[in-house]
């Protein structure tokens, strides 16, 4: 399965959930598949996608938070999987669904190998691992500036409160 | 709701007894703070200066380009023993470069 096909499968089910996606081509493929204000694209700061999503999950316990990251991204903050596991076990987070799209490579930078074949992510926390092919689809860059992504996301969150 | 996140530090230990989540790294704690701020909350971030320097990527690649307000921060600056010396010297200069003036600093005597 190609990564964008996995993303299409995930995004097909999305209605009113918050979606947080990792840097590189994953955010671009989510943007191309189903862009919406409740998508927060983390375009840099590799390794920070899951922490950001945990913060959102803690503050919005009644909303489902879907997180889509690559293996390279999550390897950079592996400790956060253990924190998530603790928060899940203590029932402090019940609303975060973590998808790890694992192609054992840094696809966005040319397919250099990662060490994801040496770890079983599902032993570290409750998450869904989808093994996908290495490689990228031919999709444009995200046409929004970071500030626009933030402003419309925060506006959508404020609307939720009303 | 002022949720508090961070990593312990000797100088901060009396101030951080009520931390909500003991994180696995400072940049993780700051990332969680960013998520809270995106939801309109005002989290508090505890860190030692060496951990603050671990956060330079998330500050320069997320907080500044996305114009996310920096959380209320309690920062401990260490100068001793020897392994703290260099980090102690550069921390305030880096905070000035970033333009973050609202960080509450507890500094060890040189």
For residue range A1-22, list pLDDT tens digits in order.
999 999 999 999 999 999 999 9
Q: How many residues does chain B have?
A: 110
Distance from CA of A125 to the nearest CA of B (A): 15
The mean of the pLDDT values for chain A is 96
Contact B31 A51 (CB under 8 A): yes
Does residue A103 belong to any structural domain of this protein? yes
Distance from CA of B22 to the nearest CA of A (A): 9
**Domain ranges across chain B:** 4-107
A39 chain-B contacts, CB cut-off 8 A: none
Q: What value does the mean pLDDT take over residues B55-61?
A: 97
Q: How many residues does chain A have?
A: 162
Phi and psi dihedrals of A120, rounded to 5? -105, 95
- The range of the structural domain enclosing residue A94 comes to 3-157
Does residue A150 belong to any structural domain of this protein? yes
Q: Report residue A162's pLDDT band, with 50, 70 and 90 as the boundaries.
A: low
Contact B31 A40 (CB under 8 A): no
pTM of the prediction?
0.97
Quick check: B34 pLDDT over 70?
Answer: yes
pLDDT higher for A122 or A161? A122
A69 chain-B contacts, CB cut-off 8 A: none
Count of structural domains, chain A: 1
Beta strands across the sheet bearing A18-21 = A39-41, A18-21, A65-70, A96-102, A128-131
- Record the tokens describing residue A54, joined without a space: 């945990």
ipTM at complex level: 0.97
- Residue A157 CA to residue B31 CA, distance in Å, equals 18
């Amino acid at each position: 399965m190609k990564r964008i096909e996995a993303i299409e499968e995930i995004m097909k089910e999305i209605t009113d959930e918050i979606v947080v996606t990792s840097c590189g081509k994953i955010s671009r493929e989510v943007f191309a598949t189903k862009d919406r204000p409740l998508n927060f694209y983390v375009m840099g700061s590799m390794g920070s996608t899951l922490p950001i999503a945990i913060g959102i999950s803690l503050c919005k316990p009644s909303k489902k938070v879907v997180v889509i990251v690559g293996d390279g991204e999550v390897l950079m903050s592996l400790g956060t999987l253990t924190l998530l596991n603790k928060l899940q076990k203590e029932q402090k987070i019940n609303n975060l669904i973590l998808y790890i799209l694992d192609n054992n490579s840094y696809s966005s930078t040319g397919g250099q190998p990662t060490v994801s074949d040496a770890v079983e992510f599902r032993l570290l926390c409750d998450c869904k691992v989808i093994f996908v092919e290495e490689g990228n689809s031919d999709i444009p860059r995200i046409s929004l500036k970071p500030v626009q992504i933030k402003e419309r996301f925060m506006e959508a969150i404020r609307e939720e409160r009303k | 709701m002022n949720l508090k996140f961070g990593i312990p530090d000797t100088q901060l230990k009396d101030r951080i007894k009520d931390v909500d989540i003991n994180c696995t790294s400072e940049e993780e704690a700051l990332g969680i703070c960013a998520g809270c701020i995106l939801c309109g909350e005002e989290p508090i971030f505890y860190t030692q200066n060496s951990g603050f320097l671990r956060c330079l990527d998330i500050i320069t690649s997320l907080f500044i380009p996305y114009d996310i307000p920096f959380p209320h921060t309690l920062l401990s600056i260490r100068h001793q023993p020897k392994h703290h010396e260099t980090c102690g010297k550069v921390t305030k200069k880096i905070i000035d470069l970033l333009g973050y003036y609202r960080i509450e600093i507890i500094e060890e005597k040189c």
